[in-house]
Amino acid sequence: MRDDHATTQDIAELRAAFGADDDGASALGWDAMRAFEARHGIVLPEPYRTFVADVTDGSYLGPPDCGLTALGELPRDWGDDAGARDLGEPFPLTEPWLWEDDPDASEEAEARIAAVYRHGSVVLGTDGCGMYWHLVVTGPHRGHIWHVTDVGAVPFGAEFGHTTAEPGFAGWVRHWAAGRPWFDAG
C-alpha cells in the first residue's frame, strides 16, 4: 500500500464521495496542515494529507456514520478519560486484538489498550456506541485504517479479512461510497 503519494484519481474520487464542491473552502489548507504535522512530529499519510489540505477538513457526511471528524479533533462521544494523545508515538498494533477475550488483565495489557486509543493515529470519526475509525500515522501500520471499539481493534482492508475493501483512507472511503457494509467478507 502506498501512503506517500496522492493520485489525481484518488483526490477526485474523495471529493466526489464527500460532495466537496466548495473549491476547497472547507479544507484546512497546506500551511495549517503542515503546522499540525510539525506540532505532532508526524507526516500524514496520503491521500488523507492532500484531502485535508485541499478538499475538506471534516464533513457531516460519512464515513463513518456520524461524519468525518476534523483533523486533530475527537468525536463527541470520545469522553475525557482516554488521556493525552501522542501522534508521534507509534500505533501499538499490527494484528487484530480482541482484548475483551484476552485473559491477560495485567497492567501491561491495560497500558497497551490505552496506547491503542492514544498513540500514533488520528481519529476519523465514530459509528456511535464507542466504535471509532483511526488512521494510523506512525508505526508499522502507517496509512492503514483501524476499527477500535471498547472490546478490541481490527485493521481494515481485504488483506486482513472481514472486508473486500482496499486498504487505506481512499479504499475505506470508496467502500463506504459504494454502499457496502464495513465487514462484508464472508
For all residues of the chain together, what is the average pLDDT? 91
- Alpha helices, H only, the chain: 8-17, 30-40, 48-50, 107-118, 168-177
pLDDT tens per residue, range 9-39: 999 999 999 886 666 678 999 999 999 999 9
Q: Is residue 164 part of a domain?
A: yes
Kindly report the CATH number assigned to the domain that includes residue 133.
3.40.1580
Q: What is the pTM of this model?
A: 0.94
Per DSSP (E only), the strands in the chain are 121-128, 131-136, 145-148, 153-156
Residues 6+ apart with CB under 8 A from 40: 87, 88
Q: Which of 128, 183, 173 is nearest to 150 (CA)?
A: 128
Q: Is residue 104 part of a domain?
A: yes
Is the pLDDT confidence value at 101 over 90? no
Q: Domain range for residue 60?
A: 8-177
What percentage of the chain exceeds 70 in pLDDT?
A: 94
Q: What are phi and psi of 147, to 5 degrees?
A: -100, 115
Is the pLDDT confidence value at 158 over 70? yes
Is the pLDDT confidence value at 72 over 70? yes
Number of domains in the chain: 1
What's the CA gap between 86 and 107, in Å, rounded? 20
Q: CB neighbours (10 Å) of residue 16?
A: 12
Q: What was the pLDDT predicted at 12?
A: 93
Q: Is residue 3 part of a domain?
A: no
Q: Is residue 1 part of a domain?
A: no
